[in-house]
Structure 1
Amino acid sequence: TLNSVIRAKIEELKSEDRIGTMQFFKCTLVMVEEVGGKDIPFSAITVEWLQKCEKLWSKTRSVSTIGMHMRNIRTLMNEAKRAGVIKESQYPFGKGLFEIKTGIGRKKGLTKKQLKAIFDYKSGNETTNRYKDLWIFIYLCNGINPTDMLKLKFSDIVDGEICFVRQKTERTTKNRKEIRATISVQMQAVIDKWGNKPLPDNYIFPYMKGNETAIEAKAITRDVVKRINKRMKLIGEELGIGNITTYTAKHHTISI
C-alpha cells in the first residue's frame, strides 16, 4: 500500500538522520490518509484520485505545498514502477495525465536602501539586536542555511574564510559542495559579540553542544529560525519593509 511505503520511507530517512525530509513525509502520510484512509492500494492511485486529493487539500494549503507533497507521492510511484509493483499503464503522473502544479514564486530581494536600513537598525532590546545580527551573518555568509550556520566551528575558519560543506549535499559525492565565504568586518563583529570563545573545537554560535541527536539538532535550528523571523518581522514592520525572514537573507541578489 501507499501507506506502508511512506512509513518505510520515513524509517529510511530517520536512519539517515534526514530529519527535515522525514517530517515532510510524515505530513504526506497524514494528508493521503485524510483522503484515502489507512490502507490505500497502489492500484487506487489514479489521475482521478490525485485530483480528489488536490481539490481537498487546496481548501487549507497553498499550491506550492500541495506540489511538494505530490512530488513525494510521485517519487514513491516511480520506485513502485521500477520494482514492478505497478505497470507503466497504471502510472498516473505526466503530460496528459496528472500534472503537478507549481506555485508562482514571489520576488524576495531587498533594495540596497532597505538593506542599509536593516544593517543600521539598533534596538533598545538586546534579544532583537542578537537575532538581527544572526540574520546579517546569514546574509553576508552567502545566504548560509541556518542549519549549516549553527554547526559552524572555529576550525571551519581558514585564512580569514569560512569553509563548509552544505549539509544538504554532504551525503552525495556527486553534488558535494564546499562553500567559502570571506569573513567581513561586520561578520567578525557578530562573531565577537554573540559567539563562543574562539577555540578550534567550539561551535561559533552558542546553540549546539555537539551531543544532540539529529532530531534534537533539527528542533534547535527550528527554534533559532523562529526567533530570528519573529524579531525580523518586528524590524520589517518598524522600517516599513514588510516581513523579513531567514529566507529573505538566503535569497538575496544585492551586495551591500
Structure 2
Amino acid sequence: MATSVKVLLRNKANKEGLYPLVVRIIKNRKPSYIYIGHYIDKKYWNEDERKVRKSHPNSARLNNLIAAKLAEANKTLIELQSNDMEISSQQIKKEIKNPMSDKNFNDLSKEYLNELESNKKLNQFYADRVRVNHVINFSKSTSLSFREIDETFLRRFMSYLKIEKGVSQRSIINNLVVIRTLFNRAIRSGIVEQKYYPFGRDKIKIKFPESKKVGLSIEEVQAIANNEELSTAEQHARNVWLFSFYLAGMRVGDVLKIKWGDIYDGRLHYRMNKNSKLLSLQLPEKAIDIISHYKDSRQENDDFIFPEMKKANLKSPKDILAKTKTATKKFNKYLASIATKCEIDKKLTMHIARHTFGNISGDKIPIQTLQKLYRHSSITTTINYQSNFTHKEEDEALNKVLDF
C-alpha cells in the first residue's frame, strides 16, 4: 500500500481554541500524527496550499518550519523504503522523531544492558558491561558508529585486549560475541546496513578455543570425603562441594538456594537459576548424610539448608548474586587448602565438582541421561562437554597398535 506524508491543521483545538500544525503519515490506511509544536487560528491556515497565510504575524517562520519538517519526513521515508523496510505508520513516526540512524554503539549498548538488568540476567549483565566498556575505552569515543567497527578496528581491538589488558583468548572471543550481538541488533533496527557487517566468512570469525576441563578421580574425591583433619570452615566448604558433586555438579548458586521444603518424597525439587527450568532429582544417600549436619539450624520448611543465603534480601537479585559470589570465593579459598591437605595437585574449586562428575561418569552413562543430569537444553552441548572426559576408544586404539 502507498504511503502519504502531508502537513495539515488537525481538527482538535486546545483550550485557547487554536489548532495544531501536524505532519500526517498514512500507511495501509492507518494514520499517525507528528505535532510540529505550534497552534494557530483556523483563519490563518490555507488548506489548498497547506501553508500558513501571510496574514499570520509569524507566517514566514512557520512555513519554513513546515517545509523543513515535511522534507525531513519524506527523506526518512525514502531511506526506509530504499532499505526495503516494511514498517507501519507508527514506526515511521518513531523513526522521524527519534532516528535510529543517529544511534551509535554506546546508545545501543546502554539499551542492551538495561534490558539484561531489567530481565534480572545479572551474571550476563555484569560480564557484558565490562566487555562494552572495553570497546568504548579502546575507541576513546562515546559516539562510536557501527560503520567504524570494521575488520581493521576489530583486529586492533583484539590485540589491545591481549597485549594491554592481558585477556585470555576465550575472553577475547566473548568480547567479540557482544559486539556481534549489538551489530546484529543495529542491522535489524536499520542503524547500519548489512554490507558493513564485519563478521563471517573471509572476515572476522568467532571460534571458541577448546578449553581444558580437568576433573578429580574417584580416589581424590574419596580423599576429600574421608579427611578428618579439616577445620570447621573447611568441613563446610567440603560439604557444599560434595553435595554439588553428588547431584551431577549442581551449580553453586542453585545449591545455596535449596530450602528444606524443596526436599520431599526422597527427592529434591528446585528451579534452576540459569534457565528457570523446574527439576526433580532423587537425593543420593551421601547427599542426605551431608544435609543431616545442618538439621539443628532448621526452624521451618522455608529455611535454607546452607547458611550463606539466610541474610540475603530475597527481593533483590543483586544482593542474591553478591552473596553467591562472596560465598563462592570463600569456598574456593578453603577448597584450595583442602586440596593441599589431601595432596591433590589439581586446582580444586566449586566448578570442578561438575568436571569431576563428568570425569568419573566417563562413558558409563547414556548421553541422553547425562543431558538430563547436567540440565543441558541441547544434547550437542552434553556431547561436547563429555568429550573432555571420554578417552576409552582412543586409548584402546593406541594399545592395539603398540601391543607388540
Alignment TM-score, normalising by the size of structure 2: 0.59
Q: Which has the higher strand share?
A: 2
For residue 16 of structure 1, what is the amino acid of its counterpart? N
CA distance in 2, matches of 1:206, 1:235: 20
Percentage identity across aligned positions? 24
Partner of 1:71: 177
> Secondary structure of the residue that 1:93 maps to in structure 2?
coil
CA distance in 2, matches of 1:47, 1:108: 35
> Secondary structure of the residue that 1:246 maps to in structure 2?
coil
Partner of 2:54: none
1:172-206 deviation digits (Å, cap 9, x = unpaired): xxxxx333322223212221223641632222222
Which structure's CA Rg is the greater one?
Answer: 2
In the TM superposition, structure 1's runs of 4+ consecutive aligned residues that sit over 6 Å from their partners are: none
Aligned length: 249
2:313 counterpart of 1:211: yes
Structure 1 residues 246, 124: CA separation in 2 closer, same or farther (over 3 Å shift)? Answer: closer
> Secondary structure of the residue that 2:309 maps to in structure 1?
coil
Partner of 2:246: 140
Partner of 1:191: 291
1:202-256 deviation digits (Å, cap 9, x = unpaired): 222222246331111001000111111111112223323321111111222225x
Partner of 2:282: 182
Superposition pairs of residues 70-89 of structure 1, within 5 angstroms:
70-89=176-195
For residue 191 of structure 1, what is the amino acid of its counterpart? I
> Secondary structure of the residue that 2:280 maps to in structure 1?
strand
CA distance in 2, matches of 1:122, 1:51: 53
For residue 280 of structure 2, what is the amino acid of its counterpart? R
- 8 Å CA contact 2:240–2:255 kept in 1: the answer is no
For residue 3 of structure 1, what is the amino acid of its counterpart? N
Partner of 1:230: 333
Partner of 1:160: 266
CA distance in 2, matches of 1:122, 1:228: 18
Cα displacement (A) at 1:12? 1.3
> Secondary structure of the residue that 1:58 maps to in structure 2?
helix
Alignment TM-score, normalising by the size of structure 1: 0.91
Gaps of 5+ in 2: 1-103, 362-404
For residue 212 of structure 2, what is the amino acid of its counterpart? R
Gaps of 5+ in 1: 171-176
2:154 counterpart of 1:50: yes
Task: Note the aligned Cα RMSD (angstroms).
Answer: 1.7
Once the two structures are overlaid, the 10-residue window that deviates more, 192-201 or 28-37, is 192-201
- 8 Å CA contact 1:152–1:164 kept in 2: the answer is yes
